[in-house]
Amino acid sequence: NGIIAATPASGEESKTLTDARDALKAARDSESNLRTELTGHQDDLGKDYGLDDVFRALKGRCISKDSGEYNYELCWLEKTTQKSKKGGSHTGMGNFVRMDSVTVDDDVPPDGKGLGAGLRVALRYENGQHCWNGPNRSTLVVLACAEQDEVWKITEEEKCVYRMEVGTPAVCDMNGKGKEGGARDEL
């Protein structure tokens, strides 16, 4: 035809070849990212999110309680944190490890914000920030039925070993019971 394609100078690649290499690299990177994401989803499907996976919807949501000089935060199935109101850094009180159950025998205060008596769902958070002259911080989160997610009480049972009492609708119907075995009034 009389038209000759331009040839790159010796040692240089053509723009078409460079574009093809870039497109191949982008496709391989995308495939790698998608495989990593798929593995994460498959791992997540194997995790225990409680009866009927009820805690899956809460994962990553955070609730907090103002308690004197600190603000305590529970991020469902992720971590617990203590934040000083005077500024400074946050203290990690533990990272989610597993679901558990504990037996409690507590009085329920008049406002209804308490654990009561019986078997309760618990979430264990361990391997928090190291405690000066003590262990790594840990938190046992004990759950009871409530109309909304709310941290009721935080105690330090031993040095850097915390207990949070938390109300949540997520445990109201566990074991086929309403308000932890009692009747629920609903409109």
In tens, the pLDDT along 88-99 reads: 788 999 999 988
187 or 88, higher pLDDT:
88
Q: Classify residue 130 by its DSSP letter.
A: B
Q: What is the pLDDT of residue 179?
A: 42
149: three-class secondary structure by DSSP: coil
77-85 own/partner pairs: CB under 8 Å, 24+ apart: 77/49, 77/123, 79/125, 79/128, 80/125, 80/128, 80/139, 80/141, 80/162, 80/164
pLDDT of residue 69 exceeding 90, the answer is no
What does pLDDT average to over the chain?
83
